[in-house]
Amino acid sequence: MNDYGIYYRRAIGVARLDKELPQFDIFISAFNSSDRVNEVFARIRAVRKFWFVQPEYQYSPLDLPQGITKIAPTSIDEVAQANALLAEIGDLNGKSICIDITGFMRHLLAYLIARLKAGGILRFYALYSEPVAYIQQEQTAFSTKTSGVVRPVRGMASSMKANAEEALIIGVGFDSKLISQVASSKDAATVFPVFAFPSLSPDMYQQSAVRSSAAGDVALASSWTSKRRFAPANDPFSTAGVVSAVVRELDRNGRDWNVYLSPLATKVQVLGFTFYWLLEGSKRTAVSMLLPECLTYSRETTQGLRRLWMYELDFT
């Protein structure tokens, strides 16, 4: 079992962002219209800064900031997106890298981290900026259109056991439709909902509970409450620890389990689930990262920048 308590995380004062954060060789952020993403991009110090433009946001060239290196692939496949990004950046070895995960799509974020690790990048930094509020509280729409396909993140499917039970660990956010789609795709699985708690702000837990209750069959099942777990919304390492504990609990009960991980809440949670997968899940085997395919995504879902977090992902 991995001790997730030892990993480095710290809150950065928004007012002193440019002073508290070191200068990086490479800074990557996914462009969207949120204040929090743009403010961090403008103020962070880095030798080279890259805007990654997710096609899911459907920006036209005129919508994009000028004078900055932009990578704007057209494919929604995470492998093609990461290929485009890494081809533009070039050699990463020996460079200090920082990624603002706030605006990335879940598929790409999970895959990109795994891809960096597979490419020998064993240490880098991730930033996440907490919003002051979601623009329409519990009514905020994030993914606006999905293909209906729920599939493993490329390279993170793992090999499943024959005749094993299935467990689905869902990171519960605001997007009830995504929860519903994932749960329907694994309708024989025992579901473990992981709620983001403590949430980014006190009202957000309540809002996510309200939203997720509209997720169909899965939210009506008694397991939605009896198997509920909690992980802090802004701590990927604690989240990884919670996922790890659930899987250990399954492995102790004497049966074979295929485990599906589906982080559908904050990007921090995606980071946490991915971190668990890379450190433990991929070695255990039969642990798969599973997400619904998003075709389009809201450009602006939040207001303001409350707090900035920095995490050091260390795979050494």
Encoded tokens for 189: 């699985």
- Of 13-21, 26-34, 212-220, 272-280, which part binds other proteins (CB under 8 A)? 212-220
Rule CB under 8 A: is residue 106 a binding residue for other proteins?
no
What is the longest distance spanned by two Cα atoms in the chain? 58
> From the CB of 204, what's the least distance to other proteins, in Å?
21
Task: Give the three-class secondary structure for 118.
Answer: helix
Task: Give the three-class secondary structure for 178.
Answer: helix
d(CA 73, CA 87): 11
> From the CB of 83, what's the least distance to other proteins, in Å?
8
Residue from the set 66, 74, 93, 159 that interacts with other proteins by CB under 8 A: 159
Encoded tokens for 223: 């397991």
> From the CB of 217, what's the least distance to other proteins, in Å?
5
Rule CB under 8 A: is residue 156 a binding residue for other proteins?
yes
Rule CB under 8 A: is residue 162 a binding residue for other proteins?
yes
133 beta partners: 303
Q: Residue 114 gets which letter from DSSP?
A: H
Rule CB under 8 A: is residue 262 a binding residue for other proteins?
no
> From the CB of 184, what's the least distance to other proteins, in Å?
7
Rule CB under 8 A: is residue 209 a binding residue for other proteins?
no
d(CA 4, CA 232): 13
Nearer Cβ to other proteins (110/233): 110
Rule CB under 8 A: is residue 250 a binding residue for other proteins?
no
Number of chain residues interacting with other proteins (CB under 8 A) = 50
d(CA 144, CA 109): 19
d(CA 111, CA 237): 18
- Of 52-60, 129-137, 181-189, 265-273, which part binds other proteins (CB under 8 A)? 181-189
Encoded tokens for 291: 């997400």
> From the CB of 13, what's the least distance to other proteins, in Å?
37
Residue from the set 84, 210, 221, 310 that interacts with other proteins by CB under 8 A: 221
> From the CB of 185, what's the least distance to other proteins, in Å?
6
Residues 287 to 306: which contact other proteins by CB under 8 A? 288, 290, 292-293, 295
What is the bridge-based pairing of β-strands 302-303 and 133-134? Answer: antiparallel
Rule CB under 8 A: is residue 149 a binding residue for other proteins?
yes
Task: Give the three-class secondary structure for 176.
Answer: helix
CA-CA distances (angstroms) from residue 275 to 65, 112, 237, 282?
A: 32, 12, 8, 10
Rule CB under 8 A: is residue 122 a binding residue for other proteins?
no
d(CA 188, CA 51): 40
Selection from 135, 145, 215 nearest residue 175 by Cα:
215
Nearer Cβ to other proteins (36/177): 177
d(CA 255, CA 304): 47
Residue from the set 33, 96, 140, 184 that interacts with other proteins by CB under 8 A: 184
d(CA 88, CA 311): 24
Q: List interacting residues with other proteins (CB under 8 A).
A: 75, 77, 79-80, 83, 111, 114-115, 118-119, 145-152, 154-160, 162-163, 166, 176-177, 180-181, 184-188, 214-217, 219-222, 288, 290, 292-293, 295
